[in-house]
Amino acid sequence: MPSFYGIMSTVIDLAKWDAAFYSERLLKRSTLEQMWTPARLNDDKMVLIWGRHHGLGWFLGDYRGHKVTEYGGSTSTAMLRLPEDRLTVIVLTNLDFLAGSEPHILARGIADFYLGDL
């Protein structure tokens, strides 16, 4: 997974990163909770980016009644986490956002496959 700043990763690396979120090996539980709590502005309004709640680097919300924390961007990557279900979908593509890549839609389609069984 390339980023704008030259960081390279793989699905395996991202799966390990995701697994670390279920422990306190990298960050304290209180820090993780802060990451996945909607950020607030000085006037106490919640931060919205593209009409969606945003925590510290993560989009927040729900999908089909399941809590979602999600990361993605114009780098054609998507990491869709349903932490209460212990389900994470990671999509990496070789197209950028401007070329029509929509990895978040692919991630939700893959999640649908598993959510049907949950």
Q: Mean pLDDT in the chain? A: 86
**Is 23 among the domain residues?**
yes
Of 1, 24, 20, which is closest to residue 93 (Cα–Cα)?
Answer: 1
* Angle, vertex CA 87, rays to CA 108 and CA 23, nearest 5: 140
Query: Which residue shows structure tokens 């956002």?
Result: 97
Provide the 10 A C-beta neighbour count for residue 40.
Answer: 10
- For residue 60, being part of any structural domain is answered with yes
pLDDT of residue 101: 78
**Integer Cα distance of 109 and 80 in angstroms:** 11
Indicate whether 5 belongs to any domain: no
Q: Which tens digit of pLDDT belongs to each residue from 77-103?
A: 889 999 999 999 998 887 766 777 788
- Please tell me the distance from the alpha carbon of residue 73 to that of residue 55, in angstroms, as a whole number: 15
Domain count, the chain: 1
pTM for the full model?
Answer: 0.83
Using one digit for the tens of pLDDT, what is the confidence trace for 24-55? 888 899 999 999 999 999 999 999 888 889 99
- The boundaries of the domain holding residue 32 are 11-115
| Structural domain includes residue 2 | no
